[in-house]
């Protein structure tokens, strides 16, 4: 696929305390369009916000898309690119040591979205000057500080 038809997505999550109020941010670049997205929850974890950023950004895409997705989360990058996600599915959503996969509700959504799009994940070092990653970090931080944030129904203490 040509660079012109490629969608680029940058994502980040933030949590004020872990667990605590959290936010996610994403930048979606399609052709000449650039969109910024964000949202937050009153009590959640950083990993859940990282995952939600990916879900919200990929959910925005209409039709099948070729996507280069940039995240500073090794958790997300490695789960997809190193095949952990596929192994979790094969093992009935159990890890190699037979424990339940954390954040399964969100991984199920990501798995469904990955079947709709051709996504390649890239890891970028956070806070290292990548302008789009820095933008996502700012969006996530602002969202985490919002008032009257909704409950993250998938988060269980």
- 56-88 residue pLDDT tens: 999 999 889 999 999 999 999 999 999 999 999
Biggest CA–CA distance in the chain, Å, is: 46
* Active site amino acids: 12-13, 50, 72, 127, 137
The count of structural domains within the chain is: 1
Note whether residue 153 is domain-resident. no
Note whether residue 77 is domain-resident. yes
The model's pLDDT over 13-62, given as tens digits with 9 standing for 90+, comes to 999 999 999 999 999 999 889 999 999 999 999 999 999 999 999 999 98
Note whether residue 155 is domain-resident. no
Percent of the chain with pLDDT over 90: 88
Q: Which two tokens stand for residue 111?
A: 């798995």
Note whether residue 81 is domain-resident. yes
Domain that holds residue 71: 3-144
Q: Find the helix or strand (DSSP H, E) in which 75 lies.
A: helix 74-81
Note whether residue 67 is domain-resident. yes
**pLDDT above 50 for 2:** no
Cα separation, 146 vs 77, in Å, equals 28
Note whether residue 156 is domain-resident. no
Question: Residues 110-139, buried b or exposed e (16+ Cβ, 10 A)?
Answer: beebbeebebebeebeeeeebebbebbbbb
The pLDDT value given to residue 127: 79
The model's pLDDT over 106-131, given as tens digits with 9 standing for 90+, comes to 999 999 999 999 999 999 987 788 89
The pLDDT value given to residue 76: 98
The pTM of the full predicted model, rounded to 2 decimals, is 0.94
Q: What is the CATH number of the domain that holds 89?
A: 3.30.420.10
Note whether residue 151 is domain-resident. no
Pair 8, 110: CB distance under 8 Å: no
| Helix/strand/coil for 3 | helix
């Amino acid at each position: 696929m040509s660079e012109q038809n490629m969608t680029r997505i940058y994502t980040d999550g933030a949590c004020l305390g872990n667990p605590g109020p959290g936010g996610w941010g994403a930048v979606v670049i399609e052709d000449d369009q650039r969109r910024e997205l964000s949202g937050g929850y009153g009590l959640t974890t950083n990993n859940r916000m990282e995952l939600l950023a990916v879900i919200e950004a990929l959910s925005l895409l209409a039709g099948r898309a070729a996507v280069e997705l940039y995240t500073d989360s090794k958790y997300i990058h490695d789960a997809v690119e190193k095949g952990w996600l596929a192994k979790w599915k094969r093992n009935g959503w159990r890890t190699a040591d037979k424990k339940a996969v954390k954040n399964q509700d969100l991984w199920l959504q990501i798995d469904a979205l990955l079947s709709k799009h051709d996504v390649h994940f890239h890891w970028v070092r956070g806070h290292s000057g990548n302008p789009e990653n820095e933008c996502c970090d700012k969006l996530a931080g602002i969202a985490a500080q919002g008032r009257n944030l909704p409950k993250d129904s998938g988060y269980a203490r």
